[in-house]
Amino acid sequence: MKRSYSKYSARDDLVWLILRPWIFIPRVLYILLTFIFLFLRILFQGNSKNKNVQKNLSKYLFDVITDLGPCFIKLGQALSTRPDLVRQDWLTELTKLQDNLPAFDHKIALKIIEEELGSPANELFEEFPDKPIASASLGQVYKAKINNSYLAVKVQRPNLHFLIRRDVVILRFLGTFLSPLLPLNIGVGIGEIIDEFGKALFDEIDYQKEAENALRFANLFKENPNIFIPKLEKQFSSKKVITTSWIDGVKLRDRALLEENNLIPASFIKTCVISGLQQLFEFGYFHADPHPGNMFALKGGNADCGNLAYVDFGMMDTITNSDRLTLIRAIVHIINEEYYLLAEDFQKLGFLTKEQDLQKLVEPLKEVLGGSFGAEVGDFNLKNVTDKFSKLMYSYPFRVPSRFALIIRAVVSQEGLALRLDPEFKILKIAYPYIAKKLLTDNSEEILGILIEVVFDKKGQIQIEKVESLLNILFRDSENINSDLIPVANAGLKLFISKKGSEVRKNLLLSLIKDEKLEFTDAKKLLVLIRDTFSPMNIAKSAVQNIISTV
C-alpha cells in the first residue's frame, strides 16, 4: 500500500518551511527578484509596437512562469483563458501552459509507472510511446494501446509534493505580507483564498482522489448525451499514475481549428456554459479547472449543442445547498432589479458583514448591475462587472469568502474560454434563460419557494411584471421558444395540479381577494400572458422543432 500524501495545513506547512531556512529564504528572494525583473521588463517594453519585442517578451513571460514551477503555472493557466485581459501575442504563448510545457525525463516517467503499477510499461501495454503526447503543470500524458484501444496514461511529475508544499507556503506568506499594497480590496481573505488554492492543489496531486472525482462527475452527467467523460481504467491507476480511455477530439482552444474540423464553435460554447451552470446550480459539484486543455469538442451533436468531453478531474470543488439557492435568488434579484434584496444575498453569502447598512449599497449596486439584462446586455460580461466591482470594493466593505475562490476561478475561466471561441460572447444570454427555465420547470421545494417569491409579493398579490419578465427572458427569441415551450408548459401544468402545487394554488386564490372583495384584474392579466406565451401556434412550432431535433 502506497503512503498517502498529507493534507494541506497552513500552520503545519509554514512551521515545516521556517524550520528549513536554507530552503525558505533563497526561494523567497528568487521569487521576489524574478517578479521585479518581470515587472521592470513589462514596464519598459509592454507598450512597444515592435512585434519582435512583444514576441520576445511573451516568450520571457512563459519562461518565467514555467521556471517558477507548478503553483505559478496554475496561476498562469487562469490568465491564459482571458483574451479580454491579456494581449493576444502574450496569450498565444501563455496558452502553452495548458498542456505544452517542457516534459520531464522519459526514463523517470517509466520508473514511476513501474513503481506505482508493479510492472514495466512495455509489459502492461501492447504499445507505449517513447515520449509524451502532452505535458502539463502536474504531469505528462502518454497515448498507450491495449486490446486495440488507445488509453491516456498520465504520469505525475517527480518531487511534486515538496514543490507545491514549499511554494504554497511562500505564496501565502508573500500574499499576506503584500496584501495592503495590492490594487484590489478583497477584505480579510487573501490568506484564506491561498489556503483554498493549496488544498485544491494537494488534492490534485492525489490521482486516486482524481479517479474518484472522475467517477462521480461521470455519474452526474450520465443522462446528458452531449457530455462525455473518459472511462477510468482502475487496473492502470494509482496515486501517481491515472489511466483513462483516449479522447479523440479537438481542444477548445481556437475557433479556426474547430471550423477546420467542421465543428460549430457556438454549439460547444452553449454546451460548455450550460454544463457549467448545471454543475453550479443543480449538482453543487463542479470542475474547477475548465481551461481549453481540459475540454475537447467531439464529433456528433448538433448546431445548437455540440458534444463536449471533460478531462482532468484533479481540481474539483463543491458548493453548499444554501449557497447554491442563494446564488439562484441573487440572479433572480438582478433580473428583477431588486438591489436591496441582492445586497441581502451578498450578506448571506458572506461578501458583506452582518453589520453593513445594506440600504447604502442599493445605488452602487444599481450602478454596477443596472441594465444587465436590458438594452445593455450586449455589452455585459464578467469583465465589465469585475472592473466596476473593483472600484466599488474600495468604498464598500465587500470581501471574497475563501469558499468562493475556486467558484470564481471556474466561472471566470469558463467565460474566458467562451470568449476565445467567440469574442462577442455574453454569458448572461445563456445564464439568464437557464435560471428562468429552472424556476419554471424544477419542482423541488427550494426552487418552488423562489418561484413563489417571484410570482407573489409579500402581500400575496400577483407580480405580473416579474412573471412577464421571466417568460420574456426564456422565450424572447424563436430558438428558445422552439426548444423550451412544451417542457415549460408541461412542467407548469404538472406543478399546478400536483400536491406540491398547493402553495401556488393557495397564493393564487388569496391574490384574488382585495379589501375583502374579489378582484380579477391581475388574474386576467396573468391568464392573458399565459395564453399569449403558450398559444397554439407557439406550441405547434415547439412540437415541430422537437420532432426535427430528434430526426
User: Who's near 357: CB < 8 A, 6+ residues apart?
Assistant: none
Tell me how far apart the alpha carbons of residues 491 and 550 are, in angstroms, rounded to a whole number. 20
- Give CA 186 to chain center in angstroms: 20
CB 329 within 8 A of CB 345: yes
Of residues 368, 370, 346, 367, the one with CA closest to residue 358:
346
| Number of helical (H) and strand (E) elements in the chain, helices listed first | 24, 12
Which one from 203, 206, 289, 323 is the annotated catalytic residue?
289
Three cell numbers at 439?
A: 424556476
- 260-265: which pairs have CB atoms within 8 A and are 24 or more residues apart? 261/297, 263/297, 263/299, 263/306, 264/303, 264/306, 265/421, 265/422
Give SS3 for 518: strand
- The DSSP H or E segment spanning 31 is helix 21-45
Of residues 374, 399, 61, 404, the one with CA closest to residue 200:
404
Q: Could you count the other beta carbons within 10 Å of the beta carbon of residue 260?
A: 10
Angle between helices 445-455 and 464-475 in degrees, nearest 10: 120
Of residues 301, 309, 350, the one with CA closest to residue 330:
350
Residue 289 annotated in active site: yes
Tell me how far apart the alpha carbons of residues 338 and 453 are, in angstroms, rounded to a whole number. 12
CB 195 within 8 A of CB 402: yes
Give SS3 for 363: helix
Beta-strand pair 295-298/285-287:
unpaired
Strands (E), 301-448: 307-310, 316-318
Three cell numbers at 247?
A: 479522447
CB 335 within 8 A of CB 469: yes
Q: Which residue has the cell 419554471?
A: 440
Angle between helices 160-178 and 70-79 in degrees, nearest 10: 60
Catalytic residues: 289
